[in-house]
Structure 1
Amino acid sequence: MTTKLQRIQARPDYVDEVYKALLDAISDGTMAPGVRFTQEEIAEQMNVSRSPVLQAIRLLKKDGLVQDAPGKGVLVTPLTVASIRNLYLIRGALDNLAAKMAAENRHQMDPKIIETGRRVSRGKDVKAMVDADVAFHHDIYAASGNPLIAESAQVYWVHLRRAMGTVLQSSASQRQSIWDEHEAIAKAIAEGDAVKAGELSDLHTTKAREYLASRLDEYLGQSDQSQ
């Protein structure tokens, strides 16, 4: 494995830090789908013992983000277009509900969320782009007043983040239009228009699903040709 990971200062218990570092690397595409690595490699790169790495890998397996590789080590679970489409169908239902409930509460989103999203979309920091997108949607989840929405969505966002990260590694298009859509949703919510907020949320999710699926299909095709 050639991926460079951030070293962690030694301390008695840092399983969470190792897990988060690996999760971020998988989410932003630094550790691409199919990349193989071993417990020893991660421990050496991050300057930690093998025990917390082993525990972090077990957590990633539970999340479905890594799987046993033939022979030795594990590999980042491959992405499929079908799985992304299925995830977005579930996410769409949750986002629609959250947008409507947030609109009923006439939630006023902090303008800095959209400002940050537009700013990072013009740069090259993929992790920042994904984090900004997640922050926007989680703000609406929280504004819905139903904590179960955020809890349910979290399961799917773990996988959606890495699909977004993989695509954004090679795509600079549509980043601003995504935030145009976000701003329109936030405006409908602030105005208390639940119907419009739900419709805009559905449209946004559908466009994101089809765009990610098409880009991912292209990415996977290119990966196959390079092997």
Structure 2
Amino acid sequence: MAQILGDDHPPLTRSAGEAAADVIRRAILDGTLFPGQRLTEEGLARDLKTSRTPVREALRVLKTEGLVVSTPYHGSTVRAYEIHDLDDMYQLRALLEGHAARRAAPRIDEEGVAKLRESTDRLVALGDATDENVAQIVSENVFFHTTILELAGSQRLAEMVRKVIELPLIYKSYHWYSPEQKRLSEHAHRQLVDVLSSGDGDRAELIMRGHVYDGRDVLLAHMQSLAEGADEGVGSP
């Protein structure tokens, strides 16, 4: 199993179960731990330099969040999603984030506009997705969308959206963005900044929904391609 806490990292000290959950969660979302990977209490405890008790607590937390699944006699694994599950999540995300953009439009101030515009500039400056910068691209994209959620001014809405934003990240969809698809994502961010700054909630909602659906199409097309390749492999000599 890939090491998720560096050798030079100090042992976890704060609320051990919570700290362990944070580290494991981050490792799942950044792809260090991949969908379907088996997680053992012993291995995680060794990697996190802690005992098995906080790891056990952490796995229970991550199970409730939908990031980990546990089955009798087989232990825990990073949750893997079927294509229809991911499609459902993106459908929900489009509705919820569209609503968030609509709410943010009349609430946004100059500082909020500046934060979103600066984020878009940073995303553009990162260039096309590569193994070296994909984590930065994902982080910047999450920052942009999270900022709009904060501007929407609804904690309940933010909590709902974060669940359907974070889960697809374990599939590293930005790895599969072509340069043209990356440009489309950047263009959508620019459009959102412009319409939000003008206070046009209707337009902001439409652009956000389209932006989310574009991301869904990239991910599902890749997942479908992988599934078809696996099916072909079964029948090959």
Name the TM-score, length of structure 1 as normaliser.
Answer: 0.86
1:184 deviation in Å? 0.9
Q: Is the 8 A contact 1:66 1:74 kept in 2?
A: yes
Change (3 A) 1:72 1:9: farther
Change (3 A) 1:33 1:154: same
Q: Which residue of 2 aligns with 1:201?
A: 208
Q: Does 1:117 align with 2:123?
A: yes
**What is the one-letter code of the residue matched to 2:121?**
E
**Aligned match of 1:104 in 93, 103, 106?**
106
1:97 deviation in Å? 1.3
Q: Which residue of 2 aligns with 1:151?
A: 159
**What is the one-letter code of the residue matched to 2:119?**
I
State the alpha-carbon separation in 2 of the partners of residues 12 and 152 from structure 1.
27
1:221 deviation in Å? 4.7
Q: Which residue of 2 aligns with 1:4?
A: 3
**Aligned match of 1:128 in 136, 143, 146?**
136
Unaligned 5+ residue runs, structure 2?
none
Q: Which residue of 1 aligns with 2:217?
A: 210
Q: Which residue of 2 aligns with 1:74?
A: 76
Name the TM-score, length of structure 2 as normaliser.
Answer: 0.83
Indicate the larger mover: 139-148 or 57-66: 139-148
Identical counterparts, % of pairs: 22
Q: Is the 8 A contact 1:94 1:153 kept in 2?
A: yes
Q: Does 1:59 align with 2:42?
A: no
Q: CA offsets, 1:134-192, max 9 Å, x none?
A: 111111111122332212212222313223x2x33455542232122111111111112
Q: Which residue of 1 aligns with 2:174?
A: 168
- How many residues align structurally? 224
Change (3 A) 1:99 1:58: same
State the alpha-carbon separation in 2 of the partners of residues 211 and 33 from structure 1.
18
Q: Is the 8 A contact 2:176 2:219 kept in 1?
A: no
- Secondary structure at the aligned position of 1:104 is classed as coil
Q: Is the 8 A contact 2:103 2:201 kept in 1?
A: yes
State the alpha-carbon separation in 2 of the partners of residues 225 and 42 from structure 1.
36
Q: Is the 8 A contact 2:93 2:161 kept in 1?
A: yes
- Secondary structure at the aligned position of 2:123 is classed as helix
Q: CA offsets, 1:182-223, max 9 Å, x none?
A: 111111111122222122112112211222111222245556
